[in-house]
Amino acid sequence: MHKLVILIEPLPNLEEFHALWPEFLRRAESMPGLVKEAASQVEKSLFGERIYTYMHELYFNSLSDLQRALSSPAGQAAGHTLHRITRDHLVLFIAETKEEDAENLVRYRQAG
C-alpha cells in the first residue's frame, strides 16, 4: 500500500483554511483508486520543534494507483486547491506503508 502524506505548516489565516478545506477534500476524495484517508491535527511535539499543525494521508493499493490518481483531473484539481489554500506552507511526500493488525501483534508477543 502507498500513501500520499500532506504535512501542513502553521498558517497565517486559519479561518480561511478551514472554510476552504472541504473544497480540497471533495476533490481529493474523488480521485480514482483512493481506498482510505486519515486526518490528524498535531497536538504536541515529543521531540524537536513542532513545525506542522495538520497531517492528511491518502491511501492507495499501489504506487501506480497513486500516480494515476495524482495525474487524473480530480488529482490535478485537488493539488491546485491544496496549494492555493495553504499558500504552499506544506510538505508532500509518497510513502510505502505496511500495517500490522492487533491479532498479529498478539501472536508475536505470545511467541516471544
Rounded to an integer, what distance in angstroms lies between the CA atom of residue 27 and that of residue 37?
13
Q: What is the mean pLDDT of the chain?
A: 91
Give 18-34 pLDDT, tens digit per residue: 999 999 999 999 999 99
Does residue 8 register a pLDDT over 80? yes
Instruction: Provide, rounded to the nearest whole percent, the portion of the chain with pLDDT above 70.
Output: 96
Domain ranges, ordered by start, for the chain? 2-111
Match 483531473 to its residue by C-alpha cell: 73
pLDDT at site 112: 61
pTM metric for this prediction? 0.85
CA 93 remoteness from chain centre: 9
Helices (H), the chain: 14-28, 63-71, 73-86, 102-111
3-state helix, strand, coil in the chain (%, to 5): 45, 25, 30
For the domain bounded by 2-111, which CATH number is listed?
Answer: 3.30.70.100
Q: Can you tell me the mean pLDDT for 79-108? A: 87
Q: Can you tell me the mean pLDDT for 54-79? A: 97
Q: Is the separation of the CB atoms in 72 and 58 below 8 Å?
A: no
